[in-house]
Amino acid sequence: MRVSVVINPRAGAGSAARQLPALRKGLNELGIEHEILETQRPGHATSLAIGAIERGCTQLAVVGGDGTLNEVSQAYIAADGTPRPGPPLALLPCGTGGDFPRSCEFRQGGIAGGLARLAAGRQRPLDLGVITLHDINARVIHRAFLNVASVGISGEVDERVERGPKWLGGKAAFLLGTVSAALVYQNVPVAIEIDGNPWHEGPMLITAIANGRFLGGGMHIAPEASFSDGLLDVVCVGDLSRAKFLSLFPRVYKGAHLELNVVRALRGRTVSVRPLRGDKPILVDVDGETPGYLPLSARIFPGALQLSSD
């Protein structure tokens, strides 16, 4: 086994950097041949992962949060947005939101859990989502996602969490970001199609295109989503007022929001979302990152990756 470890030392408010000695010690004790690659800037994890794959690593490990994992996942798609082969992926969670590992339901978390999964050598198939959208210069771009892509208030929340204090921890940081975003956010009108069929047209608060079950530091947005069913779970929260949203959004942490009349959910293999108003760009969230704007199209590639498992 030749493991390339991509680590974001700033993840988890710097906790990843503090755990680096324990990581080195653990890998050495397990007798795993490895290299450790530290990110230096946003987007660096992608180029590090591509380089590691080209050098022939047999396992690609990620130490960081959902954002670092998303950057690494870009190494598994080609320029046209189709999957390309790569080594199995391993996650040693250490980040702010932690929504992807929460969806995975790992028996043991953190660096120790990730090392245990590396040593066990067990893999499970992981569906790969690919979203096509537009960057700030209106150029078409393709982005891989492993957990959840969303549009609506989530983009505003992401920007506030990024600017806010990370020491609060994931749930508190996203809770604060969500409440502050709700005070200024205005619902946007969009048209959504699933598998080519019209599904929603009108204002909405948030629409999640989910491979995993959680977003926003523990919000149970898509309770029935699965990483291995070959489908995307689409959850749309419609034209909810600010006051009503603030009173009801705690239900999302329990997955109880699907009972509300204003919420719709459906599964599909392809999803498209386009704006019905062109006066303001609508930001898209992809695994906690904000790479671009509507319109978007998304599709799922069943079992395109392998993930280290318990």
At the top level of CATH, which class does the domain 2-126 belong to?
Answer: alpha beta
Q: Which CATH number among 2.40.50.100, 1.10.10.10, 2.60.200.40, 2.60.40.10 corresponds to the domain 129-303?
A: 2.60.200.40
Can you give the pLDDT at residue 179?
Answer: 73
How far is 289 from 298, CA to CA, in rounded Å? 16
Show me where the domains of the chain are located. 2-126, 129-303
CA dihedral 307, 216, 214, 68 (to 10 degrees): 0
Q: Work out whether the CA dihedral 245, 250, 252, 258 comes out positive or negative.
A: negative
| 132-150: pLDDT as tens digits | 999 989 899 999 999 999 9
| 51-68: pLDDT as tens digits | 999 999 999 999 998 989
Percent of the chain with pLDDT strictly greater than 90: 67
How far is 69 from 294, CA to CA, in rounded Å? 23
